Chains A and B, each alone.
Chain A
């Protein structure tokens, strides 16, 4: 009986982080639901016990059902016929299992039928689901859209739609269009208000829409005639029950094949406004994207875990030259680095998620009552940390997932190139993580301001001051030295006061900041659970040292004059 939660003790380690006490207390409003709902927790320990038990359910469904269906789903894929999408048989079975287990609306408040879980256990579920089948994570993970509905919809909309999501209906976020990909300001889908009918109608085309035949859609559309930028866009809710949207075709993709990627045609599709007009892109989609990016960070970690598991199992089993290949330094070095990258990206994922949890819970509380000055300050501090860490978790985590999937095939040798092993699916599935919800290059754009303002360095200084086990102090000293090198490289670029130079060096700088942060997190983890993280902490610090030296050398040698050699 495979259980993806119980066989990965790192998850329980992260669940038990000291900051959880504050997170749960905020999320549960001091356990106010305990007399209203028979499944609400009495106190912190009770809540943590519930998270642990529910994660065991998810772990079992992932291990027994979703992982078992993954290969067939990858081969069969969804089908589009007559404007509607039919999922692969395995996908349907997966959806039925997660719905019956009550795992839709995990993070939604109880009054809509949700579990009211913080994001930490919710992302752990996403981590496991992705390890089982990254494509299925897209369908299950779109319950994130309910979060946007919750944050920006009115109470009537929340009651009508979120309850349906909690009962198993799926969602989609319809943003991209043929001429509006990374540049969403160019969205053209037209929203027209009919005074006669008292509702909005949507007309136009959306492309690359994940789960585009969902029951409930959030649609970004141009509500302000004559506008051409982001300020003319609003967010709408389209209910499939009303009709008006057909799926023209589904894409034939390289990976995550179980998740239908649709081209949608809106023909006088009745819709309702969500939130205020004109705030669709500048406020709501930005919030939606940040949530989605955290989801992709979790998807990346899940894929990294799957890749590592496949690789180590094969390396232990496969014998060459009279011994298992795992015993060869060239192979075990690769495996150790895979494990270190996995552990590092997971630590960053849950650190980021904790930041998100605190500021979002305070945000939500601020709708009920005025925050105290201390709470306001706490909210501000964690919102900034969350905003600065999210692009690192998504950007660097997805790159690590790709590297691990690549190395997983490498460990398999010739067999890995054949379609017979899981590793080839992981390789294809991982590829999208560094592209969608903002490419790595766009994550760098989001992150670079925290490099130049010194926000990352300030946080690194905080990590440096945290206690670590005596045996890890040597590694910490090395990280302190690396932070100085990083700061010098940042100074070199910023002092040149050349935007293009900064842009071309940005990725190297962001990588250094992210890697040093991850290494510090691993030292913290290894202090609490040495058996789980000590080796990875050592391997990762050594890896980061090499990367920092390489990136510093690259950046320090760069001047504005060099740009001419690069321009195309």
Chain B
């Protein structure tokens, strides 16, 4: 039997290669200076979903992302790697969302898509590093969740067994579908873009995009429904605007500071029992350990 899997993905600024101009003077991110990429752990999540699809014929992998119209780029990225279709949630009313408003929007869209067996997302996005959205979506949908997933060890009917990577070890846990998994970067790397899929999906776009090449072949691609990236606004998912975007976000950023790390004074210890003991006491007292 096939599984219906929804992968939650986010387009993020590439914070791994931060240059001097990465931050604006007011402490916000200078998006123009950082390329927009597929959030790395969401790629691990996509691979996990694609492996289930490889194993169970008839499975469908759907991407869901929320962002500005250009976030269609990562849906295409997903299609190039083997996903079957994608939804873009885009609306001015979604803008400025914190994790609560984001998970609200995603959960309403997932309800609208419906019929899912598994929701998979990366553990966290590299722009905010909160790791809250996945778990919040699960709670809003009333689904069980396994966080820090590394590999699906078995899947049989609605029974799933997952290895999760936790601090200091691994845990093997089981549960029943439908379920939500958040996936760690220690999971399998995502497969590369596929040459045939790139050629098949290169003209996929959402209604607010107008790529000149895609327009040029519009007549010839008529009837190729897979080239339509579904675009939804708040109304399309029957959303409550007060729970979306800024108005639905209790988080208020008071201030962002640019911190430059500096090396502190070093301390030399002999390695004698007494020094080691003193160090342990010191670290316990300042709560570094324990």
Contacts and interface: CB of A to CB of B under 8 A. Distances in A.
Nearest to B219: A42
B81 to A, nearest CB: 9
B220 A102 contact: no
Nearest to A39: B199
Interface in A197-246: none
Nearest to A64: B192
Question: Quick one: which of B194, B195, B216 has the most chain A CB within 10 A?
Answer: B195
A25 interface: no
A49 B196 contact: no
Question: Quick one: which of A34, A57, A65 has the most chain B CB within 10 A?
Answer: A57
B224 interface: yes
Contact of A61 (B192, B200, B217): B192
Nearest to A105: B195
Interface in A22-78: 34, 38-42, 45-46, 49-50, 53-54, 57, 60-61, 65
B224 A38 contact: yes
Binding site secondary structure of chain A: helix
A34 B200 contact: no
B194 to A, nearest CB: 4
Contacts of A42: 217, 220
Interface string B190-202: 0111111111101
Given A34-B220, A46-B217, A101 B200 contact: no
Interface string A526-557: 00000000000000000000000000000000
Interface in A92-106: 97, 100-103, 106
Contact of A50 (B193, B199, B216, B220): B199
A341 B179 CA distance: 59
A32 B91 CA distance: 41
A46 B191 CA distance: 25
A191 B198 CA distance: 44
B32 interface: no
B228 to A, nearest CB: 14
A393 interface: no
B213 interface: yes
B198 A54 contact: yes
Interface in B132-162: none
A115 B220 contact: no
Nearest to B81: A100
B220 to A, nearest CB: 5
Nearest to A113: B196
Question: Quick one: which of A38, A40, A57 has the most chain B CB within 10 A?
Answer: A38
Nearest to B50: A100
Contact of A57 (B193, B217, B224): B193
Interface residues of B, number: 16
Contacts, number: 54
A50 B198 CA distance: 8
Given A100-B192, A101-B192, A102-B195, A38 B202 contact: no
A54 B195 contact: yes
Interface in B174-203: 191-200, 202
Nearest to A49: B213
Nearest to A65: B192
Contacts of A106: 195
Nearest to A96: B191
Contact of A103 (B195, B202, B216, B224): B195
Nearest to B82: A100
B198 to A, nearest CB: 5
Interface in A79-119: 97, 100-103, 106, 115
A39 B192 contact: no
A115 B193 CA distance: 14
Contacts of B193: 57, 60, 101
A39 B192 CA distance: 17
A60 B194 CA distance: 12
Given A49-B213, A53-B199, A100 B191 contact: yes
Contacts of B194: 57, 100-102
Contacts of A46: 213, 217
Contacts of A34: 220
B200 A39 contact: yes
Contacts of B200: 38-39
B105 to A, nearest CB: 30
Contacts of A53: 198-199, 202
B206 to A, nearest CB: 19
A56 B223 CA distance: 28
Contacts of B196: 39, 102, 115
Contacts of B198: 50, 53-54, 57
Nearest to A34: B220
A45 B216 CA distance: 11
A106 B194 CA distance: 12
A57 B202 contact: no
Given A42-B217, A46-B217, A54 B192 contact: no
A54 B224 CA distance: 21
A102 B202 contact: no
Interface of B: 191-200, 202, 213, 216-217, 220, 224
28 contacts: A38-B200, A38-B224, A39-B197, A39-B200, A40-B199, A46-B217, A50-B199, A50-B202, A53-B198, A54-B195, A54-B199, A57-B192, A57-B193, A57-B194, A57-B198, A65-B192, A97-B191, A97-B192, A100-B191, A100-B194, A101-B191, A101-B192, A101-B195, A102-B194, A106-B195, A115-B195, A115-B196, A115-B199
Give 5 closest A-B pairs by Cβ, nearest first: A39-B199, A102-B195, A101-B192, A100-B191, A102-B194
Given A39-B196, A45-B213, A50-B202, 7 more contacts: A45-B216, A50-B198, A54-B199, A101-B191, A102-B194, A102-B197, A115-B199
